Amino acid sequence: MLIDVKNITKGSSESVVWEGNVTLPQDYDNNEVSVKINGNITNTGEDRFSFNGMGEAEIKTKCDLCLKPVSVKCTFDMAEIFAKDSDDEGEWEYSDKILDLEPAIIANILLVYPMRVVCSEECKGLCHICGHDLNEGECGCDRTYIDPRFEKLRNVLDKEV
Question: What is the Cα–Cα distance from 38 to 100, expressed in whole angstroms?
Answer: 15
Domain housing 141: 124-161
Residues 68, 99, single domain; the answer is: yes
Please check whether residue 148 lies inside any domain of the structure: yes
pLDDT for position 31: 67
Residues 97, 131, single domain; the answer is: no
Residues 62, 101, single domain; the answer is: yes
pLDDT for position 13: 83
Q: What's the number of domains the chain is made of?
A: 2
CB 65 within 8 Å of CB 126? yes
CB 24 within 8 Å of CB 106? yes
Give start and end residues of each alpha helix (H) in the chain: 102-112, 151-160
Residues 70, 143, single domain; the answer is: no
Residues 42, 103, single domain; the answer is: yes
pLDDT for position 29: 66
Question: What is the Cα–Cα distance from 58 to 69, expressed in whole angstroms?
Answer: 13
Please check whether residue 118 lies inside any domain of the structure: no
33 sits in which H/E element: strand 32-45
Residues 73, 29, single domain; the answer is: yes
Q: What is the DSSP letter of 93?
A: E
- Residue 109: CB atoms within 10 A of its CB come to 19
Residues in the chain with pLDDT < 70? Answer: 29-31, 160-161
Residues 104, 68, single domain; the answer is: yes
Please check whether residue 40 lies inside any domain of the structure: yes
pTM of the full structure: 0.76
